[in-house]
Chains A and B, each alone.
Chain A
Amino acid sequence: MNVGFDFINNKLIIRIDGDIDHHTCDEIRSKIDNEIMRRNPKDIIFDMKNVNFMDSSGIGVIIGRYKLVMAKSGVAAMINVKPQIQRVYDICGLKKIIPIYENEIQAVKNI
């Protein structure tokens, strides 16, 4: 499971590559948490461009990371979200806490 990172304007862009389910979520979680510890970003942006599948295990990972940055007054956002992931996102009520932007430029500009 490859998770890439970029750091722009004190925001950590998290680029996940592959399915997010119970099997992959431990590795994704630990890679993101290591990077958050190392970089100490204010905000985080999940780039879902290369994620074709996510179930509720992924929601747990996203909410967990949201709580990490929220504790330091940061925010979390998602970009490049595909329809299957959007459906899971909608059902789980993530809309209230983690906005979706069309792309990275929009997200970096607005959060």
Chain B
Amino acid sequence: MRIDNEMRLEFLSKSQNESFARSVVAAFIAQLDPTIDELADVKTAVSEAVTNAIIHGYECQSGHISIVSKIMGRTVEIEIFDQGKGIENIDLARQPLYTSKPELERSGMGFTVMETFMDHVEVVSQPGMGTTIRLTKTFKSM
């Protein structure tokens, strides 16, 4: 599909950048005039993916997180990359209520939220190499 617009963002894996990242993506996709609900869905999914990169990918150590977002017609694709520890078992990580860090009072609902709010969630990960989350959503509003 033809790419109508694209942006790239890179930032340190600091938790204060979670709101920065979701706000930047929301500002970028606002050009498609999504509804408030559609915009909130994307912001929430991005927040979950970036939080996962910080807590699980880098285990709260310093690293870089990149976001590439593309607009293709009424579809947005958002890729969130980290070069952290990677995910051993992707199917298990995607299970509702599963958390590898129960001591942190995590809900284990991050992937479920992403899957519910976006049309597609693709996870590419290799232990020791990092993780890429690809989120896609087509806006129905015109």
Contacts and interface: CB of A to CB of B under 8 A. Distances in A.
B3 to A, nearest CB: 28
Contacts of A83: 36-37, 40
Nearest to A62: B107
Interface stretch (A40-48, A69-77, A85-93, A96-104): A85-93
Interface string B91-133: 0000000000000111111101100110000000000000000
A50 interface: no
B105 A64 contact: yes
Nearest to A25: B105
B97 to A, nearest CB: 9
A31 interface: no
Given A22-B15, A88-B44, A56 B110 contact: yes
Contacts of A17: none
A63 B107 contact: yes
B51 interface: yes
B43 A53 contact: yes
Given A22-B51, A83-B37, A91-B113, A57 B106 contact: yes
Nearest to B116: A91
B105 A91 contact: no
Interface string A19-63: 101110000010000000000000000000000010111011101
A60 B15 CA distance: 16
B interface, size bucket:
20 to 34
Nearest to A90: B116
A84 interface: yes
B98 to A, nearest CB: 12
B16 A55 contact: no
Given A21-B18, A22-B18, A88-B113, A55 B40 contact: no
Interface residues of A, number: 20
Nearest to A64: B105
B83 interface: no
A84 to B, nearest CB: 4
B16 A23 contact: yes
A88 B45 CA distance: 10
Interface of B: 15-16, 18-19, 22, 36-37, 40-41, 43-44, 47-48, 51, 54-55, 104-110, 112-113, 116-117
Interface of A: 19, 21-23, 29, 53, 55-57, 59-61, 63-64, 83-84, 87-88, 91-92
